[in-house]
Amino acid sequence: MNNKSQLLKGSLEGCVLKIIDLKDEIYGYDIARILKDNGFTDISEGTLYPLYTRLQKNGFISSKMKESPLGPARKYYSLTDKGREELKDFVDTWEYMSKNINDIIKGNIQ
């Protein structure tokens, strides 16, 4: 069983939403860099861009093109109100699950 891959799939969306929330507005490449800088070294942009599209399709993020001083215009993402609700649900679920899993791992069972 590839536990790392399955856990990553389940948590990556929430991490991306949180990064966008923290930055207000962010370029897709910068999200990838932040993930890699924070230990998600196996994440590729090929994994992330379909995720951005799905998040946008679901109404969790919006995007707009902005001119770049370094080349072509870039797409910047920001969180929508629906995205903030989704992020809150993710955080609540993550805190609930991680507490319960940590309790079991540490042997704190009833």
Q: Name the pTM for this structure.
A: 0.88
Query: Residue 64 belongs to what domain range?
Result: 3-105
User: Is 83 inside a domain boundary?
Assistant: yes
Q: State the average pLDDT over residues 6-16.
A: 85
Q: What are φ and ψ of residue 36, in 5° steps?
A: -65, -40
Q: What is the pLDDT of residue 46?
A: 86
User: Is 110 inside a domain boundary?
Assistant: no
Given a cut of 50, is residue 81 above it in pLDDT?
Answer: yes
CATH of the domain at 77: 1.10.10.10
Question: Residues with Cβ < 8 Å from 3, sequence gap 6 or more?
Answer: none
Task: Work out the pLDDT band at 3, boundaries 50, 70, 90.
Answer: low
Model confidence pLDDT, tens digit, residues 31-63 = 999 999 999 888 888 889 999 999 999 999 999
- How many structural domains is the chain composed of? 1
| Cα gap 13→108, rounded to integer Å | 29
User: Is 20 inside a domain boundary?
Assistant: yes
